[in-house]
Every structure is written in C-alpha cells, then in structure tokens.
Structure 1
Amino acid sequence: MTYHDERLPDHLLVRIEQRDDPVSELSEDDARERSIAYPTLMWGMPVFGFVEQVDGRWRILRLAADEPQHARDGLASHFRKLHSELPETDEHATERAGYETAYELLDWEPLDELTVNGRRYRIIRAQPFIRMGPDGPEPPRPTDPDPYPPGQAERDSSPMAGFVIDPTVGTGLTDGLVRMEMISGYLQTDAVGEDVRADSRLAVTSHPNVVLLPVEYTIGAYVAGSWRPRTAATYPTPQAARDAGSFSMGPFAPDENAPFEEVMAAYERARAAHRPPCTDDFEVQGVSCRVTRVETFVRVGPDGPEGPRPSDRDSYPPPARQVHDLREQGLMPDPD
C-alpha cells in the first residue's frame, strides 16, 4: 500500500513522485525495461554496518561487514580515530574520554547501540539483492554513473558512506514498486532454518518500511552451468568492478611454496600486465564473467533502521573477550 497522508508517521511513508527532468525520465525507463528483462529478485547474504543519528536522521558511516561483530569492531575503530584526532587539551578532555570509554566497552561487549558524546550510534543490518533474467544477472544500466576510464576507477568512493536513511524522500514509480514488494517480503525457503524464517517474518511488523540504498556492483562468474559470485566484494561503479574483478595472477602466479618476495614480484608483474575491460561481459582465464548490479535495502521502524537479528551469524566475541577466553582455556599465554 502506498500512503500519501502526511499525518502518517515517517516510518510508514512511501512517497512516489512524478519527476519530469530528462535524466529522471531516462532512469525510470531503464528501471521499467530492466524489471521486465530481469524479473526475478534473488536475495544475498545480509551485510552489516554502523550509523549515527544526526538531526533525527540516521546516516551511514560504513556498510561492508559480513557479520555484526565485524561492524562492531569497525565502530570501535571509528571511535579510536575520533579520539586520536582530538587535541590532548582540557577543552577536549571530556569528549576524548567519551570516545575512549566507548571503544573500550566495544572491545568487551557485543553492543548494537550506544550513545557517545550525545550522539546515538547503531549497528544495522541491510539486505542485498540482484535481478536475474534468462541470460543471467542484471548488468549495469545505461543511466548508471560510470565516470572514470579503465584502470582509473580507484578514485571512486563508496556511495554508502554518508547516505541518510530517510523513508520520506520521494522515489520514482519503479523503485517505489520495488520498495512495496520488499516491505511485505520475507524468507520462505526451506534452505534456511526456522529461526531465520521467524526473524524474517517478525521484521515485517517490527520494521514495516524499507529504504533503497545506493546501487553497487560486483562480478558474477558462469561456472558449471550457473552464475555465482566471483568475489564477495562490491564496488561503487561498474568500472571499479571491472578493474578489480578482471584482475588475475594467471600465468604470473608463482609456486605455492614460493617466498614472499617472489610472490610480491609476481603480483607486481600481473598488475603491470593487467588491462581492465570496458565492457560488462568478459572472460578471466576462460571463465565468462559479468558486471552485476547489486541493490540493497534496509528495513526501517519507528526508531530507525533495523539492527542485527538473533539468527544472524555472529561467530566470534569482541576482541578483548576473545583473548580473555583463550587465556582462560590455556590456548594463549598471559602477557609478561
């Protein structure tokens, strides 16, 4: 259901706008055509990151972790950086102490939300998905930005950093329909456990809206009659994916027992010989590859974006706790 009543709370709004500028019209045409050519939506593994609340809205600081604890470790590093950037003066003593307390706490406790120096921070969960069609995964669209030539796309920065999660921002018709589909969507496959399905169903009511995040790109590989990810990494632009995803040590790879210096020399020779493609379909060592468009959404509830779920894989404790447990088990010596 699409709501237009301004009395509704923000977390229930899906505001669809008619945009008349040429770029928006072309983007909307691309989206409609691709929804027909690539009609099947396939969900990937969730990704995690951390956000801060600024003026009532949640802003992404980083979103690239495969487990909640990796995101917590990233947030602790963020606080360490903020702490190190402040001068060691009486004027900043309280603020420095706040950041120090926060990262020391995260070293020991798996916290998903905390307030530091008057600002709220949260570990969030996002859901990537791709579109599939008869010929495989959806490649980049003609209107997707791709500003740099082959070999120079490392200048691109992640579009996720600084993105504001705002469900009230207007969207085009096709993206609005995607949001509507995701709002009521939950995992129904037997390929996951009942605890995962139960958490997915619960999220539909606890966080009843979704926000689409900036598009990123990865590389798919056609192996043994099916498409699979060539890498778990995502990239900010199609050319950045081509540059990174097409690289291979190939004939330069040394023996597996070669010394480190020989491995690095082979790597440098491979980098020098690497010529990134400028097309979306290419081969790497005889394997057909395709730049693949990755869309991502985050669920939103009355208090903001969804955090990790109980069923999400979270395979190790915070670093200080992990070291403590290993020492308790006699698997790591005590410091001198």
Structure 2
Amino acid sequence: MNEYGEGAPAYLTFRVMPQQGPIAAFAEEEALRARERYPELMGMGLPTFYFTRESERGGWEILSEGGTTPQSARDGLGTHFRRMAADSDSGKRAKAAMAAVDKLEWVAVNEMTVLHRRYRIVRSEQFIRMGPDGPEPPRPSDPDPGRRTPGESHALPSRTPGFMIDPYTGTGLSEGLLRYDLANFVVAPGAVTEEVFRDAQRARHTHPGTVLLPAEFAIAEREAGRWRSYTGSCPTPQGARDALTTHFRIVKPALQELTETAERAYAEAADRFDEGCGTGVSVLGRHFRVIRVEQVVRIGPDGPEPPRPSDHDPELPASAHMKKMKEAGLWEEPAEDDPPVELTPQQRRLITLMERDRSRRRARAEARETRLREGGGHRPGEDRSPEAPE
C-alpha cells in the first residue's frame, strides 16, 4: 500500500484494461513475448522535444514532430503561433498570437499561456529492448504503411502529432509493465556527466509517472560484437530502411572515397533491402538491423516533463541570436549583388547522386503502376523476398 491508498493521482496511475479486437490482442501478445526475448532496457541517444497544448478535457496534445533540441521545439511553436495569427478572423486573437511569437523570438521559454491555453515544450526519452541476439526489431503488428513504396516514406505522416499525453488512458498489461519499468529507469552514473545524472535522479521524484508515445524505428549496426545506433529514429520501419538505403546510395558515395566495387556493393545492398522489406541487411562485412525504439514522456503533478537544465540546448532564439552576432561584429546583411555560391566537387557529386536516385524512384513507381494496371504485382500484404541474413 502506498501513501495514497486507493486515491493515487492520475500521473501515478497505471490503468490496465483488456485490449479490444483481434489486432489489439495480437499486439498485446507480441509485446508480452518481447519482454521475454528482449528483457534488457537501454537508453538510446539524446532526448527528443515536442511542443504541446493542454487539453480542456485533460492531458496534453502533441502538436509537432520531434526536435533534437528544446530551441528547435520553441521555433516550431513560434511557427504554430504565426499560422494561428494568419488564420484568425479575430484581431484580438491574431494580436495575442503575434505577441507570443515576439516573446519566443527573444526568450527561451518552455511554457506560456496564450488565449487562456497552456503550451509547453515537452521532453521525451528513447529506449530500446536488448536480448541475446541484439536489439528488438519491428513487430509484425507495428504499422508499416510505406512497406510497398520504398523511398517514399518521407511523404507519410508521423503518428506522434495529435497524440494525447494522458496517464489516465487505459493500456494493455505489457504497456503498463513497460511504463512501470521506465518510471524506475535511471542511466548509470558513469555513463553520463554528473549534471545529467543528477537531473535524471531528480526527475524520478518531480515527474514519477510515465506515458508511452507511439514507437519509432531506427537502424543499428553490429560492430565488434556490439550494437550501436547508426541513424536517428523514424516514424515507420520503412522510414528507417529508407534512411539506410539513402545513406548507401547517396551519402556514402558523395562523402567518402569509395572504390567502384564498394559503391556497387552498397547500391546492390540497398536494392536487396528495398526488394525484401526485411529487418536486416549485410554488405562488405557490415551488418545492419532495423530496430524498434520506445518513446516515453515523464509525468508529474502539473503534467509532462519540460526540458532539463542539462539538456543540450546550444541555440539562442532567432532575434536574440541576431543581436548577439551584431554586437560581436559577426553579422553581415545579405547583399542583392552577392555572387552565386560556388559548389564544391563534393556538393556537385551529392546533387548528381540525388538526381540519379530521384530518377530511379520515378522509374520504379512507373513500373509499379504498369504492373497494377496490367493486373500483376504483389497482392496486398504479400512479401515474396526473404530478409537478407544478418
């Protein structure tokens, strides 16, 4: 029995409920199996930041995709208020929204009230599950809408904007157990700086509850018997595959001096990955895997956790940054007659590879449309190519 008895506040509540429908039941069964096959939780990289709005019905609605720094989320919130002002048919509303924009241009604020609604920059952390064979790959029940159109995942919407951060929402048993595990997770003191460790310890008390956001996906590489993250997270498994194939086809050839043999090997590996839509691919002795990334927001009495003092936040708000540059004599106003920027050979190579890949994807899309028009192609959900061995 805790100090609250049966009256625990919502942010400390884990409401476990039966999951309705066969798909939800299947996802719940998969999640419970994942706890057995991948029992170890590990933090992954730096936190992610969103701008959110408090709901009148309870909880906080995420209004953005994730940013890598608190200031990137503040900049996004400023853009949100600009749009609000432009779309408003009320002078009073537009004036209030532009006043918020002006403040965000000068001051690094993590919360503000605009038109009687609270907005907050919210911090989330990412975790992966590890097992004897490495990090957990995507589950069969994870949505993968871009699976049949490799290279086009960037056009698909993320599941995070519109998500409601509400600890009182009922979950399945597996999600409730994971939320409990993550509520008690603190990074090892030797793995981070003392300031980061102190902030993490403090957060366990100031924001002891947790809410899981939709899972995301990334690429990991096995190197010298250990796995390390290779890309940032993407909303879908196909997004992670596309990130890797783009790296193979464009980034590596443009930024590294590859031999023709190596460049061809990476291009062929990208083609295999596109065709198979699997979870792993190997090339030139390197082994890559699509991994599942859990996202969690900590919750306290007043809502989701804002950025911590130790979070990496190097940028100033735009107007404050401009003023600082001018005071230091480092700011130059752009001139109308500035000569065009001369591209480096590396930049020209990058543009050439991007154009070549754009043509490849366009030809692939046209061939797919032709197959469908003629009654060929794969049936929905059919996967005729096996996963490449890891």
Q: TM-score range by the shorter chain?
A: 0.7 to 0.9
Write the distance in 2 (CA, Å) between the matches of 1:61 and 1:227.
33
Preserved contact between residue 65 and residue 158 of structure 2 (Cα < 8 Å): no
Counterpart of 1:246? 245
- Paired residues of 2:43 and 2:187 also in contact (CA < 8 A): no
Cα distance change of structure 1 residues 34 and 251 upon mapping to structure 2, 3 Å threshold: closer
Look up the equivalent residue of 1:122 and give its one-letter code.
Answer: R
- 1:192, distance to aligned residue in structure 2 (A): 1.2
Counterparts of 1:188 and 1:252 in 2: how far apart (Å)? Answer: 34
Query: Structure 2 CA distance, aligned partners of 1:251 and 1:139?
Result: 24
Q: Is the 8 A contact 2:231 2:243 kept in 1?
A: no
The letter for the 1-side match of 2:181 is E
**Quick check: 2:28–2:173 contact (8 Å CA) kept in 1?**
yes
Instruction: Determine the C-alpha separation between the residues in 1 that align with 2:271 and 2:42.
Output: 32
Unaligned runs of 5+ in 2: 258-266, 336-390
2:228 counterpart letter in structure 1 = R
Counterpart of 1:73, as a letter, is D
Distance 2:189 2:241 in 1: 32
Aligned amino acid, residue 61 of structure 2: R
| 2:94 pairs with 1:92 | no
Task: Note the 1:1-336 alignment, pairs <5 A.
Answer: 7-19=7-19, 21-44=21-44, 45-55=46-56, 56-86=58-88, 91-148=89-146, 149-151=148-150, 152-232=152-232, 234-247=233-246, 248-249=248-249, 253=253, 276=274, 277-283=276-282, 287-333=286-332
2:323 counterpart SS class: helix
Number of aligned residue pairs: 319
Which protein has the bigger helix share? Answer: 2
Residue 77 of structure 1 and its aligned partner are, at CA, apart by: 1.5
Structure in which a larger fraction of residues adopt strand:
1
Aligned-partner Cα distance in 2 for 1:207–1:252:
42
What residue number does 2:381 align with? none
Q: What is the distance in 1 between the residues matched to 2:21 and 2:3?
A: 24
Task: Say which SS state the counterpart of residue 249 (structure 1) adopts.
Answer: helix
* 1: CA distance, partners of 2:124 / 2:252: 38
Alignment root-mean-square deviation, CA: 2.8
Of 150-159 and 114-123, the range deviating more from structure 2: 150-159
Partners of 2:282 and 2:195 in 1: how far apart? 40
CA–CA distance in 1 between the matches of 2:42 and 2:107? 34
Identity of aligned residues (%): 41
What 5-or-longer segments of structure 1 have no aligned partner?
258-269
Q: Is the 8 A contact 1:47 1:63 kept in 2?
A: no
2:110 partner amino acid: D
- Which residue of 1 is the match for residue 263 of structure 2? none
1:146 shift after superposition: 2.0
